[in-house]
Amino acid sequence: MNDVPDDLKDVVEDFVKDDAPIEIKDQVADISPGSIVWARRRRALADLAHRFSRDRLAVAGLIVLVVFVAMALLAPLLSDRSGLSAVASVDNPTWAHPSGDFPLGTDNLGRSVAAQFVWGSRISLFVGLMATLLTIAIGSVVGIVSGFFGRWTDAVLMRITDWFLVIPFLPLAIVLAAVLGRSVWNIIFVIGITSWPSTARLVRAQVLTIKERLYVDRARALGAGRTHVISKHVLPNVAPLILANTTLAVPISILTETTLSFLGLGDPSQASWGKTLEEAFHAGAINREAWWYYLPAGLGIVAVVLAFTMFGRALEEILDPRLRER
């Protein structure tokens, strides 16, 4: 003890106290495989949040998204739904400039543009998110099955994927939507069924590399079955890729919904930003210079799409270290 510096004596004395080793033993006993995994996940999440918070564009994107999602959820509080109805708006002035009564003016039927903007955000975001979920679900299942099982399963699925990849996306969506009829769920189905192939290819490529890793061989050698290997090794490793792909697929879904609605394939009974633009165009808002009619919906689309892109790019960069150099 004599050669220990004075200021460390307390620490060393604590350590050699009789009860100390028991505490350490207790701590060791607390450590189980589960707790190690959770500690690792907590660390990874904290690391992710830290990296993310350093990317100013991504944080800005996140804030914009939170604002728009809040607006979509709180639509009934922000604006009366009757503002969307031409019958209820019959006493309102038509083509009114933005004013106190109508913060974004009125359209050719006297309906409030602000109400259309608020309620339209619901359908635009809902269709964008649901269509993306469908896209990612189909793409991930096809990609994982194709990559994992290989052989003829892979050959058949990839042939189908190739077919979908070389059929022009928008015309296919238009034709399907025209045939199926105009409803929100049809639009979601059409976007999902036409845009999954790129996700399937991406996921398949990732599964192919994971399948060859040593730890998968090890698991197999220890007697792991397909279900175990897929759920415990393949899925956790493709999940980050799928997540990043999801956030980057939402903008495409939203833009497609907008275009389909503009072409007159949207749900006639629901307000959406694309439908507002369609109605503004056909009502002659451009020639009347009624900028308040077609400007807000377009700006809303641009803001949401840009926000998702910023957010998705940051996520992709964090999750895929190869991209960090960019």
Partner 1 sequence: MRPRYVVGKIAGAIGTLAFVLVFNFFLFRIVNDDPTASMFRGRNLSPSQIQSLREKFNLDGSKLEQFGAYLRETAQGNLGVSLLSRRPVSTEIREAIWPTVLLVGTATAAAMVIGVLLGIHAGWRRRSAFDVGSTTSSMLTYSVPDFWLGMLLLGFLAVRFDVFPTGGLEDPGTTATGLSLLIDQAHHMALPMITLALGYVGEYAIVMRSSMLDTLREDYLQLARAKGLRDANVRRHHAVPNALLPVVSLSALNFGFVLSGAIAVESIFSWPGLGQATFEAIRGPDFPVLQGLFLLFSAALIVANLAVDLLYGYLDPRVAGR
Contact footprint for partner 1 (CB under 8 A): 162-163, 166-168, 170-172, 174-176, 178-180, 251, 255, 258-259, 262-265, 277, 280-281, 286-287, 289, 291, 294-295, 298, 301-302, 305-306, 309-310, 325-326
Residue 65 contacts residue 129 (beta carbons within 8 Å): no
Calculate the alpha carbon distances from 34 to 38, 108, 238, 311 in Å.
6, 63, 21, 31
Name the residue with tokens 């994982």.
144
Minimum distance between the CB of residue 162 and partner 1, rounded to whole angstroms?
7
Cα–Cα distance, 45 to 150 (Å, whole number): 33
Nearer to partner 1, 32 or 287 (CB): 287
Nearer to partner 1, 39 or 302 (CB): 302
The alpha carbon torsion through 265, 266, 272, 273 (nearest 10 deg) reads -10
Nearer to partner 1, 37 or 170 (CB): 170
Minimum distance between the CB of residue 191 and partner 1, rounded to whole angstroms?
15
Residue 297 contacts residue 276 (beta carbons within 8 Å): yes
Nearer to partner 1, 104 or 265 (CB): 265
User: Do you know the residue count of the chain?
Assistant: 326
Minimum distance between the CB of residue 123 and partner 1, rounded to whole angstroms?
15
Minimum distance between the CB of residue 5 and partner 1, rounded to whole angstroms?
48
Minimum distance between the CB of residue 90 and partner 1, rounded to whole angstroms?
27
**C-alpha closest to that of 246 among 189, 211, 195:** 195
Cα–Cα distance, 170 to 50 (Å, whole number): 39
Tokens of 36: 């190690």
Tokens of 210: 């994971």
Nearer to partner 1, 193 or 230 (CB): 193
Residue 106: what are its φ and ψ, rounded to 5°? Answer: -125, 165
Our measurement of the distance from residue 228's CA atom to the centroid of its chain's CA atoms, rounded to an integer in Å, reads 27
Minimum distance between the CB of residue 256 and partner 1, rounded to whole angstroms?
10
CB atoms closer than 10 angstroms to residue 326: 6
Nearer to partner 1, 13 or 162 (CB): 162
Nearer to partner 1, 150 or 298 (CB): 298
